[in-house]
Structure 1
Amino acid sequence: MSRNLRVAIVGAGPAGVYAADILTKSELPEGVDAVSVDLIERDPTPFGLIRYGVAPDHPRIKEIVKALKRVMANDAIRFFGNVAYGDDLKLDDLRQFYDAVVFATGARRDRDLDIPGVDLDGSFGAADFVYWYDGHPDVDREWDFQPHAKEVAVLGVGNVGLDVARILAKTAEELLVTEIPDNVYEGLKKNATTDVHVFARRGPAQVKFTPMELRELSHSPTIDVIVHPEGFELDEGSMEAIKAAKSQKLVVDVLQNYLAKEPSGADHRIHIHFCQNPVEILGEDGRVVGLRTEVTELDGTGNVRGTGEFKDWPVQAVYRAIGYYSDNLAGIPFDISSGTVPNDGGRVIDIDGSPLPGAYVTGWIKRGPVGLIGHTKSDAAQTVELLLSDVADLESPAQPDREAVDAYLDGRGLEYTTWEGWEKLDEHELGLGESHEHQRERVKVVPRDEMVRISRS
């Protein structure tokens, strides 16, 4: 007997959209006539961290949205936004309508940093700052820029750390040409930062920047990039890392160019410090007044050891960009140490070690917050292959008709958004940009209720 395969994908970021694309284009197993996919997203809009995690001055990366839009044009794929898994829907609810559920919820919050002073005023998680300047509806409209915070520390040497450093160092006027909302522009005008200090625990060959991101630091005429020679070391492990990856060699080359370059006297500076391990955020009267680091040294393997020498840096704010962490999902096992759902190639593994029937994961919730878009595609392909191989063992849903989902959401009184609704909001934001006095490409709508109202109009 033939069947139509119904799959729910929770999360409409790149991981979820790519999984939907691969599912609808794969050769179907015997007994399956067709496959249809519903993407279920807590935000009113699709695209996840492409919309709310990429810095607004990175239009090239946002070109990925064009590819994702082409995927979403497939009639076999639907989008339900403003629907929160765990609050509006549980796993048992989804099983009424779908043969299988794929979780692609990513990693949305900051990984904890366990050092003294982390809770002081002026100590921020990078994810919170990114969501603010990207106009996420669930964060405060104001950012706590202080007029005395001229020297700022960024902990972490990945691309998010560079994004944070660059946004802090740029002027509000430079960013006005991007899609930042009006409240972000007004907030950035209050930013008094002149010097951003980026701290790496290890050496230049161990940083996680990509070459393009690193080069872009110097594209602003208002910023000097200063690489400090202290700790700029290459041990045997570093040389092996450079030989093993062309991108790592390019990063080191760019850093060496910055190291040799004389500052131009620009109004803002981004300082990059190596072999400095943050051990305490210093406070006074409840606010950040400094950062204490331990000087480290490379041990020959590319790792470092502490030297027992400490240094205090007079900074007035600290941004922690040490990685993202995934949220626990209702009804699904969760590994607290890794921040991932236990899985075998994408099949969710229950607490007794057996596969959880009909439950799968892909993207960062599967493997942790590492890798680029290319990894996300191969990750999704692996999960989809396993799902399709399990079809004969999947329990058929009680209500397989597509319309049953709409009726259920309507019956719950949920104000969900659709792909057609996103197209309305997209057109509205583009119109705001076109009519703006500075002729911007787009101006984001921030309040959730306003996004929903425009989408459902």
Structure 2
Amino acid sequence: MPHVVTQSCCGDASCVYACPVNCIHPTPDEPDFHTSDMLYIDPAACVDCGACVSACPVEAITPHTKLAPSELPFVQINADFYKDRGERPLLAPVTPPLPAPAGREPLRVAIVGSGPAAMYAADELLTVPGAQVNMFERLPVPYGLAWAGVAPDHRRTRQVTGLFDRMRQQVGFRLFTGVEVGSDLTHEDLLAHHHAVVYAVGASSDRRLAVPGHDLPGVATATEFVAWYNGHPGQAGARFDLSGPRVVVIGNGNVALDVARVLTTDPDALDGTDIARPALEALRAGGVEEVVIAARRGPAQSAFTLPELIGLIGNPHADLVVDPADLAAAGPEPDDHATAHKLRLLREVAGRPAPAPGRKRIVLRYFAAPVGVAGEERASGVELARTEPVPGDETRVRVTGESEVLETGLVLSSIGYRGVPVPGVPFDESAGIVPNRDGRVLDAPGGAPLPGVYATGWIKRGPTGFLGTNKTCAQETVRLLVQDLKEGRRALPDPAELARLVGSRRTAAAPV
């Protein structure tokens, strides 16, 4: 196999478009693109040209002869994806360029937010001749979760910000940081100075544990913890008690695995990364020896991706532990490619000898639902109820009546994100998103489109997909926007008026 996609795949499909022989799948037009853990290179079709290597913004594609030992599982995983999948087209479909809307007035669009969805939307809009994009970010630094949500030791994944830096250099792009829409500027202000407004504000709130004791000191969210060790201004004064030997993380998505890995990594190995200095010093002074990642369902329903699991297995700083009994209760062998490989790897881990004494451990606990946090003045433990699969439907579980209390002074929940309303913009409270139809914002859930108002990213579709999923999501929204404005546009105030307005409002804004 000449080239292999490895664990830092961002999934933005840059490699798909660069490949001259269509050997990287799924492509954005294929139904499994938005649900696939990663992209895969067909070993029989790859011609070893290296075009994908140059196109990848996160250095995720490697010649098979240069794989690190921890990356070797990807050879079989890439090859297995193409077994019994039939013929594919010789060439991947080409996305047609956006048309230039009619009218003399240059297209001017405001984008609220500066994360991946926002940056991909700006990049797409700037393919329109003469287009101007003004981006508004409430924090003093851009790129959202691509900066604040990626673990500091994931150096290659963080390199996607270099791609965004290049996007910012395009003619017609302007970034305003430290400006909060809904406070410093209103929705109406943006509409007055732009032909359209695109909301790409993500899902900045966490879903919280809803169990007794959830509000005790020592209980926080994994997102808050990640923001703290990444130096997010909103967590500058946060304190996390790392003195105890065990941390319990509720939920087993990629963020949970990131947290467990950072907590058990030798601080000397983190020195030199972008980790915040207060977090590094707290890790040096801490006493964490074990991180338990608890999930209420079984291994086949693991929320983490296959690449993240492989990265955790290859982590040299801590042993991964899985109970063989949990795998025995996992149910029938799944048809899904990624899930089947996850179970295979988990079985290999479960079959290993017991970890050596003194080694740090990351324990994947399945069939364990949180029912309460113990403690009086602060958290001292978390009660986990044993669950079991519902007969006939292994995707659901029920409580068995057995439970245990794991002693811990720090409980981190990692059970999902939720969107936050923007003043003046409709919001669907039940779904946690801006109500929209394919990116056109509606005046209410199921209502009529609001002229000139659009959404992309998590605030459009909910917290689903991967970093690169936002590219195709943004393309869909931008194409509708350009289509809606194809008959021409109204005259707008001079761009200097907007700069003066932002300057006058920003001076009164509270510091982030």
| Structure 1 residues not aligned, in runs of 5+ | 27-32, 417-447, 450-457
- Compute the displacement of 1:146 (Å): 4.8
Tell me what 1:96 maps to. 192
Structure 1 residue 83: Cα displacement: 0.8
Q: Does 1:113 align with 2:209?
A: yes
SS at match of 1:3: coil
Cα separation, 1, equivalents of 2:506 and 2:419: 28
RMSD of equivalent CA atoms: 2.1
Give the one of 115, 118, 123 matched to 1:13: 115
The answer on 1:187 being equivalent to 2:282 is yes
CA distance in 2, matches of 1:18, 1:215: 28
Are 1:23 and 2:125 matched, yes or no? yes
Q: Distance in 1 between matches of 2:325 and 2:246?
A: 19
The alpha carbon displacement at 1:324 in A equals 1.5
Choose the corresponding residue for 2:401, options 298, 308, 312. 308
Matches within 5 A, 1:124-139: 124-139=220-235
Query: Do the aligned partners of 1:358 and 1:394 also contact (CA within 8 Å) in 2?
Result: no
Corresponding residue to 1:55 among 144, 148, 151: 151
Return the offset for 1:6: 0.6
Deviation at 1:356, TM superposition (A): 1.7
- Is residue 2:500 matched to residue 1:407? yes
Contact 1:145 1:190 in 2 (8 A): no
**Residues 433 and 458 in structure 2, CA contact (< 8 A), matched pair in contact too:** yes
Provide the rounded CA distance (Å) in 2 between the counterparts of 1:11 and 1:368.
15
| Equivalent in the alignment of 1:291 | 382
Structure 2 CA distance for aligned equivalents of residues 257 and 367 of structure 1: 36
3-state SS of paired residue (2:282):
helix
Matches within 5 A, 1:229-268: 229-232=324-327, 233-236=329-332, 239=333, 242-244=334-336, 246-262=337-353, 263-268=355-360
Partner residue of 1:366 out of 430, 440, 460: 460
Residues in 1 aligned to 2:210 and 2:138: alpha-carbon distance in whole angstroms: 29
SS in 1 for 2:217: coil
Deviation at 1:109, TM superposition (A): 2.5
Q: Alpha carbons of 1:369 and 1:397: their partners in 2 closer, same or farther (altered >3 Å)?
A: farther
Structure 1 residues 20 and 394: CA distance shift in structure 2, 3 A:
same
Equivalent AA in structure 2 for residue 348 of structure 1: V
In the other structure, the counterpart of 1:325 is 418
CA distance in 1, matches of 2:107, 2:423: 24
Alpha-carbon displacement from aligned partner over 1:130-184 (angstroms, at most 9, x marks no partner): 110000112134422153x212110011000111111122232221131113222
Q: Is 2:299 the partner of 1:197?
A: no
Paired with 1:386 and 1:337, the residues of 2 have a C-alpha distance of: 25
Q: Is the 8 A contact 1:343 1:366 kept in 2?
A: yes
For the pair 1:380 / 2:485, whether they are aligned, the reply is: no
2:163 alignment counterpart: 67
Contact 2:324 2:351 in 1 (8 A): no
Task: Give distance in 2, aligned partners of 1:269 and 1:178.
Answer: 22
In structure 1, C-alpha distance between the alignment counterparts of 2:122 and 2:273, rounded to whole Å: 30
Pairs within 5 Å for 1:268-279: 268-279=360-371
Q: 1:249, 1:135 → 2: CA distance?
A: 37
Inter-CA distance 415–260: structure 2 relative to 1 (3 Å threshold): farther
For the residue of structure 2 that corresponds to 1:34, the secondary structure is: coil
Q: State the alpha-carbon separation in 2 of the partners of residues 275 and 395 from structure 1.
A: 57
Structure 1 residues 226 and 90, CA gap change in structure 2 (3 angstroms): same
Q: Report if the CA contact (8 A) 1:97-1:397 is conserved.
A: no
Q: Determine the C-alpha separation between the residues in 1 that align with 2:291 and 2:258.
A: 12
For 1:92 and 1:257, locate their aligned partners in 2 and report how far apart those are by CA, in whole Å. Answer: 57
Gapped regions of structure 2 (runs ≥ 5) = 1-102
- How many residues matched? 404
Deviation (angstroms), 1:59: 0.7
Q: Equivalent residue of 2:285, what SS?
A: coil
- Decide which of 226, 231, 238 is 2:321's aligned counterpart: 226
* Whole-Å separation in 2 of the counterparts to 1:412 and 1:294: 52
Contact 1:83 1:414 in 2 (8 A): no
1:394 shift after superposition? 8.2
Cα gap change, 1:248/1:394 in structure 2, threshold over 3 Å: closer, same or farther? farther
Distance 1:37 1:86 in 2: 19
Aligned AA for 2:374?
L
How much does 1:393 deviate? 7.5
Distance 1:75 1:54, change over 3 A: same
SS in 2 for 1:132: helix
Match of 2:307 among 189, 212, 221: 212
Kept in 2, the 8 Å contact 1:142–1:187? The answer is no
Q: Secondary structure at the match of 1:256?
A: helix
* Cross-structure match for 1:36: 132
Q: Distance in 1 between matches of 2:472 and 2:270?
A: 34
Distance, in Å, in 2 between the alignment partners of 1:142 and 1:19 is 33
Alpha carbons 2:227, 2:235 under 8 Å: kept: yes
Contact residue 228 and residue 276 of structure 2 kept, 8 A:
no
Query: 1:374-453 counterparts in 2 under 5 A?
Result: 374-391=468-485, 396=490, 398-399=492-493, 401-414=494-507
Name 2:247's counterpart in structure 1.
152
* Partner amino acid, structure 2, of 1:183: P
Q: Is the 8 A contact 2:242 2:283 kept in 1?
A: no
Cα distance in 1 for residues equivalent to 2:377 and 2:428: 34
Quick check: 1:100–1:394 contact (8 Å CA) kept in 2? no
Aligned partner of residue 117 in structure 2, secondary structure: helix
Distance 1:105 1:397, change over 3 A: farther
In structure 1, how many angstroms separate the alpha carbons of the residues matched to 2:414 and 2:240?
17
Question: Structure 1 residues 316, 62: CA separation in 2 closer, same or farther (over 3 Å shift)?
Answer: same
Give me the TM-score of the superposition, normalised by structure 2: 0.75
Cα distance, 1:210 vs structure 2:
1.5
Give me the whole-angstrom Cα distance separating, in 1, the residues matched to 2:104 and 2:317.
64
Matched, 1:173 2:261: no
In 2, distance between residues paired with 1:116 and 1:181?
32
